[in-house]
Amino acid sequence: MLGLQFAYATNGAEIIEFDYFTGLEKGISAYPAPDELWKRYRAGKSLKNDSEVQQLLTPINFTLRQGERYYQEIAITANLTTQHQATRNMLKPMVRILKNMRNRLIQDGSIANGIAPSYFIEGMLYNVLAINFVSTYGGAFCNCINWLSNADRSTLVCPNRQYLLLGHSNIQWPPANCDAFLDALMNFWNNW
């Protein structure tokens, strides 16, 4: 599920290694050193080019949706898929609607470009309770925006469930930007 290439199990006396590159399971006397695993991983993934390797080592940047570790990307995709199914397949269309509205708000000068990156729009809607995603787009939009307006947004999480969505670190959405985006959305909807 996580796409791991090496896994280990122990009963306290023996260590078993599962190598998913080779499909082999074997007993080992000690856990491999990180350098050894890194060499085996590079060989298994055929990573000979150092620029490909550097891309794997680049820190995550949620604003640009770049640099996610493979396990973070897997977790984000799995969590968004689960939530999409829980919303009767309405999450992805609602994300698309909000992204389109964001683009229109930028075009009209209602918000600055960069105020509402796609990852944060996905994350915001990921937190909305599934019951709010009714069968019509208009109804789902109103329910989602009302829920977000009344929610304690300081408790919203990123779709990887590892970080709070809103905050002031380089991996979080500044609360003022979220507020500005929601205010602009409501104004756009109410004055359509």
Tell me the CATH number at 40: 3.90.1570.30
- Contact assessment for residue 95 and residue 65, using Cβ atoms and an 8 Å cutoff: no
pTM over 0.75: no
Do 117 and 180 fall within a single domain? yes
Burial code (b: 16+ CB inside 10 Å, e: under 16) for 60-79 equals bebbeeeebeeebebbbeeb
Burial code (b: 16+ CB inside 10 Å, e: under 16) for 115-128 equals bbbebbbbbbbbbb
Do 89 and 133 fall within a single domain? yes
Cα–Cα distance, 21 to 43 (Å, whole number):
9
Do 84 and 127 fall within a single domain? yes
Kindly state the percentage of the chain with pLDDT values over 90: 64
Do 104 and 23 fall within a single domain? no
Do 36 and 89 fall within a single domain? no
Structural domain includes residue 64:
no
Structural domain includes residue 147:
yes
Cα dihedral 166, 169, 170, 171 in deg (nearest 10): -50
What is the residue-wise DSSP string for 105-151? Answer: HHHTTSS-TTSS-HHHHHHHHHTS-GGG--SSHHHHHHHHHHHHHHS
Do 106 and 181 fall within a single domain? yes
175-190 helix and 118-126 helix, angle to the nearest 10 degrees: 80
Q: pLDDT by residue for the chain (192 residues), tens digit each?
A: 567 899 999 998 899 999 999 989 999 999 999 889 988 988 988 888 887 777 666 655 554 455 556 666 777 888 889 999 999 999 999 999 999 999 999 999 999 999 999 989 999 999 999 999 998 999 999 999 999 999 999 999 998 888 899 999 878 999 999 999 999 999 999 998
The token pair at 97 is: 């609607």
Count: domains in the chain? 2
3-state secondary structure of 24: strand
- Contact assessment for residue 112 and residue 106, using Cβ atoms and an 8 Å cutoff: yes
Full residue range of the structural domain in which residue 80 is found: 70-190
Do 129 and 95 fall within a single domain? yes
Cα–Cα distance, 162 to 40 (Å, whole number):
28
Cα–Cα distance, 173 to 115 (Å, whole number):
9
